[in-house]
């Protein structure tokens, strides 16, 4: 089960992959879907924002910044954001982590919030967030 991250005086952020998209989207009131991969959910016909990101293809930093800024804009509008990519792991974790850090969570708390929000990724995120910390910090610095 995926748990929404509630931002005080803002919207919520829920994380998922394509496999659990249908079950997750049903639990969210009026979601704004932010897709981080080329694959769109098959049955979803609602509001969608698309950003194709990939670590393997050396996606420009500006693309990561644009995706994080879109999520932050929607949260600032008190929207319920569903953030997803294929597995709900690499790209989803990266953008969610960046957003948390920009909302003044420190590294330890941001990692903890992510593991609680999507428990199935807890073990994976523990290593990925440490492994890519330098990349994340660079994006956060460019956004400050």
Q: What is the pTM of this model?
A: 0.93
Indicate which CATH number applies to the domain containing 139.
Answer: 3.90.190.10
Is 13:5 a contact under the CB 8 Å cutoff?
yes
Of the pLDDT bands very low, low, confident and very high (cuts 50, 70, 90), residue 57 is low
In 3D, which of 14, 10, 18, 16 has the Cα closest to residue 31?
14
Range of the domain at 103: 5-143
Q: What does the alpha-carbon distance between residue 136 and residue 119 come to, in Å, rounded to a whole number?
A: 21
Judged against a pLDDT cut of 90, whether residue 125 lies above it is answered with no
Angle at which helices 133-143 and 61-76 pack, to 10 degrees?
A: 60
In the chain, the number of structural domains is 1
pLDDT digits (tens, 9 = 90+) for 82-110: 999 988 888 999 999 999 999 999 999 99
């Amino acid at each position: 089960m995926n748990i929404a991250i509630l931002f005080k005086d803002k919207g919520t952020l829920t994380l998922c992959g394509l496999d659990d998209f249908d079950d997750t989207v049903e639990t969210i009131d009026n979601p704004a879907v932010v897709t981080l991969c080329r694959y769109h959910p098959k049955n979803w016909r609602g509001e969608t924002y698309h950003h194709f990101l990939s670590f393997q293809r050396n996606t420009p930093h500006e693309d990561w910044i644009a995706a994080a800024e879109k999520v932050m804009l929607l949260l600032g509008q008190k929207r319920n954001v569903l953030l997803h990519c294929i597995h709900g792991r690499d790209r989803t974790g990266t953008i969610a982590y960046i957003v948390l850090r920009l909302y003044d969570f420190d590294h330890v708390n941001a990692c903890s919030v992510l593991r609680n929000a999507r428990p199935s990724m807890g073990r994976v995120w523990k290593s990925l967030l440490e492994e890519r910390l330098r990349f994340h910090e660079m994006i956060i610095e460019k956004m400050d």
